[in-house]
Structure 1
Amino acid sequence: MTALDIQHVDGAAGDEQLEAWRYVHNTIIPAHVLSLADVRERAARNHLELAYADGELIGNSTVRPPAGADATAMVAARVLAAHRGRGHGGHLYERALLKARELGARVIETCVLESNEDGLRFAERHGFVQTDRYQLDGDPTWWIDLRLAG
């Protein structure tokens, strides 16, 4: 596997970094398109990263800090289709999981579009089990919430 260049994207990030993160998100999750303002707001409250291989954008990740009585954090690792199957998703996921644990998470969850078969297989291979399946009001898209077992 090619070594990844990982860049943290925070609330002070410039438009170029925010747009790169937005591009990956919107490409992989077309059912929930984010604006630049949406990403800027997410970057201020979540831990976001961009991943590059040989100078080319290949993916991103999100860690939503733990919340609630059970300290549940949400993690997501996204890799553009042309770069899958090379271990990059596993690397991003491991970084996200480590960050969630550093932030005090005791429970780890993720959310995947039902139509994202690669993402669902990835989550299940990494120990996640389905906890909910739902549609948002007026949206025909099915979403699947998963929780890390054990």
Structure 2
Amino acid sequence: MSELRFEAAAPDGPAALPADWRRIHNLIIPTAPLSAADVRERAGRNRLVVAYLGATAVGCSTVRPPAGNPAAATVIARILPEFRRRGHGHRLYQHALATAREMGADEIDTVVLAANADGLIFARHHGFVEIERYVLPGDTIPFVDLRLAVKKPDGGPDRGPHPAGPPGPPG
């Protein structure tokens, strides 16, 4: 079996990378499809990565840089359904989490489309707890904001509110 590798989908990089990132994003989040221009704009402000198994794009991630106080980064890992439950999502998430920590994140958030049961299970399995649900204008399916539960000094989970409110459309 081929090794999973990660390639940055930078706005000035090879055109195939943003196209693969966009295709995976739009398959997993059909309620919020992005255009090529949307992806270029996001690649300029976020870290977008495509996960490849051999020559096949199997997933993508978004890391929104830390903002607020405490500095909360948003980490989103997406794996195509036919490649799930093989450890690819965990490896992509770990890669994105390391990126967020390198950017100076004190807290980690994620956002999952409520209809994506696998995504919600994955997030909860990796220690995220739900902090908010919201529906974007014109949509009917909510997005779920989750925060990585951090252990307080007393050993209990820290499940404080999101410091800046909803982070906006996922991406």
* TM-score using structure 1 length: 0.96
In structure 1, what is the Cα distance between the partners aligned to 2:97 and 2:108?
Answer: 8
Shift of 1:71: 0.5
Aligned to 2:111: 111
State the secondary structure of the residue aligned to 2:44. Answer: helix
Aligned to 1:10: 10
Shift of 1:42: 0.7
What pairs with 1:28-107 in structure 2 (closer than 5 Å)? 28-107=28-107
In structure 2, what is the Cα distance between the partners aligned to 1:13 and 1:44?
Answer: 11
Task: Give CA deviations for 1:42-90 in whole Å, capped at 9, x if unaligned.
Answer: 1111111111112111001110000112111000110000100000000
Shift of 1:13: 2.1
Q: Which amino acid aligns with 1:85?
A: R
Contact 2:65–2:74 (8 Å) recurs in 1: yes
Shift of 1:2: 4.3
In structure 1, what is the Cα distance between the partners aligned to 2:118 and 2:43?
Answer: 26
Q: Which amino acid aligns with 1:141?
A: I
Aligned to 1:142: 142
State the secondary structure of the residue aligned to 1:13. Answer: coil
In structure 1, what is the Cα distance between the partners aligned to 2:139 and 2:55?
Answer: 36
In structure 2, what is the Cα distance between the partners aligned to 1:32 and 1:90?
Answer: 24
Task: Give CA deviations for 1:89-128 in whole Å, capped at 9, x if unaligned.
Answer: 0000001111100000001000001110000000000000
Structure of greater Rg: 2
Aligned to 1:126: 126
In structure 1, what is the Cα distance between the partners aligned to 2:101 and 2:137?
Answer: 32
* TM-score using structure 2 length: 0.85
